[in-house]
Structure 1
């Protein structure tokens, strides 16, 4: 409640002209002081929310906040790669991640379908079927361009202000933006959301930034990569190696230690075995130490020197070297130290509480920059929307970071939800989990008679909780489509008994999950001879 004017200024004895002038002056001074106090208590900001980062999570949060009546600004700026590659609004997933990756994976699947087609009666007269890299990248980039434009239109339709500029904190509630022409502005906001994502990590060895590419460059590469060395064992490394080999290229993967760190290792090793059986070479326990260009061109020729603690040094030549050795959080150059936001100094990741709030109360973070959270586009989208609803819509729902379905689009696709076998054992103890598993053979692969007992299904159950399914894993075609449905069931507390009571759809791959009977503990036979 605002204070009233002091009684001395309202007494009737102010009747003379001098007294009336004095009264008006004092009233004005008091009201000015009152307004200054109000502004100190309730600062006026340019925006209710400024989102730093125009990726999937940032866009989702900004539009949700705007729908709830808030004034929102989105800042997005792509720093070019060492080779000069840059892209439009939408973040990693749309431009250099999930979308182009899935399209190129589909291209490789079509190549396999062409090989299978004659066994189904298709007569392919042209025996020299070839693939055009330039046609593929043009089609992919045209589609991505349409998505970039769609995001800009969507922001405008939702009354979100968009600025293609780099944002950097310069003080409490204040941020400086710089566009590609060097023009700077200052904006203020009541709250900020960091959604800057990550960029590929480099080796910091001679020749890496000069001659290597990353996934930021691959999907718009203006020439076919040719003989390619993929350095790394992440899902990005294996996915890229998989579809490049599917296009008929000579591909080698250089692995320092294990495949797919953080994923179920039983499944990861099966993926590696499948890829090796299908012509992808693996150099295990090697790390590159030098990359030298020996021939210019597109592609040129690179000499790679690698060391191993167990084996002798190797030197090999490749047309293209693709680095996929992890990603770095884009947090070190946005002025977080200026406003006191804590980060993990080693990784650049931002610790937050269970409501995505940093140690600075008015600054939040979502997506790949979060410490200890899955680096997945749908997770960032969900977290962003829920955050906006909590801040501005009176909701209280928090993001579930455990039961998250995902798929690795390797040649043998891998879908997963919940705990890996290693994490389940660590969390519940080996005696408290039961693992049911089986190989299966997709009917589509039976006629060409290929890859029997390569596809694999596994569920991990918590014995103490009525054998509730806490881990779901599948290797096979359409793994993502399968996993998405079972993830919903897991959110509802699906048990092994409920799975057994579900009638399968015959003959589909997902049917195997309604008939699992052999446990790892029993060491029974899980090989299949047919559908």
Structure 2
């Protein structure tokens, strides 16, 4: 008994905690672990791409690592497994459904190439969704196996800070888990924003958290705002009636000439756009359809439409509210609630770090979170001093005609350097594969934004056309390495490809000449 009493006193000395009953479960009220007695070298909060990259990198460096991850079900009840937004409700299912839509276009092209394909060819949403969801589940399982193989401890708990070294979570059955670590990385990402000021929005609308997990077709769909372009694109592509409400400019933050061309292409291929409108109410009709009411901001008049699905896509919010960051002393932006970090990804608390979408001023892109996480762990455990470079990060918008870009937009280049110091080379081109089928190529376009002074450093590249992501990825390396216009023009193209159009750019906007490519 004496030995047990000593052990209990030691445990209390280490954690000094008690439990408090709260609505919906139990909350730890602890003072945390004493220095030198912590459970892990590194604790990662968040099991998305960035967090998993941190955990696996640290484990490979021989550190004792734990990951805590918990997915709060969406308001519609959708839940998913380990892997974060990209794997479950973002890049992966989106690209696969985008591919489904592209295949529909190729089926329409097939007769022109001699294939006897009976038209029309129906699309089966249930079959596509099941295949996509099964692939995502395989990725969830793969992540669990990888953590286990690397001896990373995984906790499926919703964690919150107790102090600057300690977090607490409640597992299934109400069991409390208290974890402490020398270093903590926050990588909780974000979740879709709901327009709570709009009547019926929460009750009847879904978000990107739900669309990829629907068992049945969403049918006639309404998207309030242009952020939904990718989803609207593949829904239109598989034959669904799709409407987007445009409140302002499309693809904010991207080159606006390119963004406008994306919209033009989608509009000409069946996606409906309502411009200058704002939604005010959603209600369910007796037949089960949803009636949306909106106001035309120009005329002030109200209008309504009926739809099967309302998909909210009005931005994302950081998943920080339940972390009790104030208990650890971690500062956030008062406007966005995102975590404030320095160039080393460090928060206001020196041993607590944050990466990815949860961080203020960082690109909301999976590869940047992964690279930032790996570099951070290498710095923490003595393998490198390299910082993440957030300049010239390439990305692609997977609309029906893909838009890839790297570097500055034309607007940003002019604002930074002045119109007189910027030269823009551009071309309208027609992909060879579009010719036999007679496809519309009016929006296939590429432009390179350069400094005007020789050797004309490339500031940005913007590509609209098939496989834009594949094209942009290759040229991103050159731009990252400081390529000049002269060097790009001395690069031999691969013929016949769309990417060779980049190394054939000879016409500048300043010249006023027709940039349409004819022949080889």
Who is 1:241 aligned against?
Answer: 232
Who is 1:24 aligned against?
Answer: none
Q: CA deviation at 1:159?
A: 1.4
Who is 1:10 aligned against?
Answer: none
1:258 aligns with 2:252: no
Q: CA deviation at 1:465?
A: 6.5
Who is 1:88 aligned against?
Answer: 81
State the Cα deviation string for residues 7-32 of structure 1 (Å, max 9, x = none): xxxxxxxxxxxxxxxxxxxxxxxxxx
Who is 1:43 aligned against?
Answer: 36
Who is 1:218 aligned against?
Answer: 211
Q: Which has the larger radius of gyration?
A: 1
Residue from 79, 91, 96 that aligns with 1:98: 91
Residue from 355, 358, 361 that aligns with 1:369: 358
Asked whether the equivalents of residues 284 and 291 of structure 2 are also in contact (C-alpha less than 8 Å), the reply is yes
1:422 aligns with 2:414: no
Inter-partner Cα distance in structure 1 for 2:172 and 2:75? 16
Asked whether the equivalents of residues 278 and 297 of structure 2 are also in contact (C-alpha less than 8 Å), the reply is no
RMSD: 1.6
Residue from 457, 476, 500 that aligns with 1:468: 457
Inter-partner Cα distance in structure 1 for 2:302 and 2:175? 50
Residue from 161, 170, 187 that aligns with 1:178: 170
Could you tell me the TM-score, scaled by structure 1's length?
0.90
Inter-partner Cα distance in structure 1 for 2:389 and 2:418? 23
Q: CA deviation at 1:117?
A: 0.6
For residues 491 and 254 of structure 1, do their structure 2 counterparts lie closer, same or farther at Cα, with a shift above 3 Å needed?
A: same
For residues 41 and 189 of structure 1, do their structure 2 counterparts lie closer, same or farther at Cα, with a shift above 3 Å needed?
A: closer
- Write out aligned runs for 1:78-477 (5 A): 78-124=71-117, 126-204=118-196, 205-234=198-227, 237-295=228-286, 300-311=288-299, 312-464=301-453, 466-477=455-466
State the Cα deviation string for residues 88-113 of structure 1 (Å, max 9, x = none): 00000000000000000000000000
- Write out aligned runs for 1:460-499 (5 A): 460-464=449-453, 466-499=455-488
How many corresponding residue pairs?
Answer: 488
Q: CA deviation at 1:323?
A: 0.6
Q: CA deviation at 1:455?
A: 0.5
Q: CA deviation at 1:69?
A: 1.4
Structure 2, unaligned runs of 5 or more: 1-13, 15-32
Who is 1:74 aligned against?
Answer: 67
Q: CA deviation at 1:157?
A: 0.9
For residues 41 and 306 of structure 1, do their structure 2 counterparts lie closer, same or farther at Cα, with a shift above 3 Å needed?
A: closer
Asked whether the equivalents of residues 291 and 305 of structure 1 are also in contact (C-alpha less than 8 Å), the reply is yes
Inter-partner Cα distance in structure 1 for 2:322 and 2:490? 54
Counterpart secondary structure, 1:217? helix
Who is 2:9 aligned against?
Answer: none
Inter-partner Cα distance in structure 1 for 2:50 and 2:454? 34
Q: CA deviation at 1:350?
A: 1.2
Inter-partner Cα distance in structure 2 for 1:158 and 1:41? 27
Inter-partner Cα distance in structure 2 for 1:182 and 1:294? 41
Asked whether the equivalents of residues 438 and 456 of structure 1 are also in contact (C-alpha less than 8 Å), the reply is yes
Structure 1, unaligned runs of 5 or more: 1-35
**Segment of structure 1 superposing worse, 343-352 or 147-156:** 343-352
State the Cα deviation string for residues 56-101 of structure 1 (Å, max 9, x = none): 0000011101111111110110000011000000000000000000
Who is 1:21 aligned against?
Answer: none
Who is 1:504 aligned against?
Answer: 493
Asked whether the equivalents of residues 441 and 454 of structure 1 are also in contact (C-alpha less than 8 Å), the reply is no
Asked whether the equivalents of residues 130 and 215 of structure 2 are also in contact (C-alpha less than 8 Å), the reply is no
State the Cα deviation string for residues 143-185 of structure 1 (Å, max 9, x = none): 0111000000001111111011111001121110122433221
1:52 aligns with 2:52: no
Inter-partner Cα distance in structure 2 for 1:339 and 1:85? 31
Who is 2:17 aligned against?
Answer: none
Inter-partner Cα distance in structure 2 for 1:502 and 1:409? 27
Q: CA deviation at 1:466?
A: 2.3
Counterpart secondary structure, 2:251? coil
